[in-house]
């Protein structure tokens, strides 16, 4: 039993100009690849029998910091690649679009609140849109913590996650995290986000 690094569902350069090809290559192959390798090592060392990453994260307080960091990194990046799409962006559609409007007032207000969560996360971490018992919430987590973790102070089922580690944007945007955040909205895969919302 071991966790596999998923292939990207598009080419490294597919998200240009919003996210550059070199960043995508290093981010997927080296960073996500590294989390995957280290998660597998930790799972073996600690004799964790579950092969369900969501289940492991939900019980992560029972395991080591290696499982927390690399299990979170493994899951978060799996989600991240899926909620990006070269043909994404625009206004959210379907049931999720309606829920965003009724929860936040409008797509613009949602965008504003999500951007603030992403910009104000100090150091490395993630900004999230989650579903907590049918209610949409925006927040952030530090490092590779996930809203699925029992130890997280921000909980829910992830619908959208934005990686705000410097490795996600520094080659192209350097210290200009807000520009990277703005670019993200051009490539959100709302179709996938809707699937996650309804699941």
Residue 171's Cβ-count burial label (10 Å; 0-12, 13-18, 19+) is middle
Residue number with the shortest CB distance to Mn ion? 163
Give me the least distance between CB of 126 and Mn ion, in Å please: 8
- In what side-by-side order are the strands of the sheet with 135-142? 135-142, 125-132, 157-163
Nearer to Mn ion, 9 or 90 (CB): 9
Can you read off the two tokens belonging to residue 53?
A: 């990453």
Give me the least distance between CB of 167 and Mn ion, in Å please: 5
Give me the least distance between CB of 155 and Mn ion, in Å please: 21
Give me the least distance between CB of 148 and Mn ion, in Å please: 17
User: Do residues 185 and 162 make contact, with C-beta atoms less than 8 angstroms apart?
Assistant: no
Nearer to Mn ion, 146 or 194 (CB): 146
Q: How many Å from the N-terminal Cα to the C-terminal Cα in the chain?
A: 26
The secondary structure of 86-104 as a DSSP string is TT--SS--HHHHHHHHHHH
Nearer to Mn ion, 72 or 139 (CB): 72
Q: Which chain residues interact with Mn ion by CB under 5 A?
A: 163, 165, 168
Nearer to Mn ion, 113 or 163 (CB): 163
């Amino acid at each position: 039993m071991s966790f596999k690094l998923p292939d990207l569902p598009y080419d490294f350069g597919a998200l240009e100009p919003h996210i550059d090809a070199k960043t995508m290559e290093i981010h997927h192959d080296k960073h996500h690849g590294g989390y995957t390798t280290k998660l597998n090592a930790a799972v073996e060392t600690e004799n964790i029998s579950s092969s369900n990453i969501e289940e492991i994260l939900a019980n992560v307080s029972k395991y080591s910091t290696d499982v927390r960091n690399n299990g979170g990194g493994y899951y978060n990046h799996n989600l991240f690649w899926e909620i990006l799409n070269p043909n994404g962006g625009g206004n959210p559609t379907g049931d999720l679009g309606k829920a965003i409007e009724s929860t936040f007032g409008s797509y613009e207000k949602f965008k504003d609140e999500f951007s603030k969560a992403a910009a104000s996360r100090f150091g490395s971490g993630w900004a999230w849109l989650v579903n907590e018992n049918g209610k949409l919430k925006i927040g952030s987590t530090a490092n590779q913590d996930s809203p699925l973790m029992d130890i997280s102070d921000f909980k829910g089922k992830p619908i959208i996650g934005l990686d705000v580690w410097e490795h996600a944007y520094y080659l192209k945007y350097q210290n200009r995290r807000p520009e990277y955040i703005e670019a993200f909205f051009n490539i959100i895969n709302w179709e996938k986000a809707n699937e996650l919302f309804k699941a």
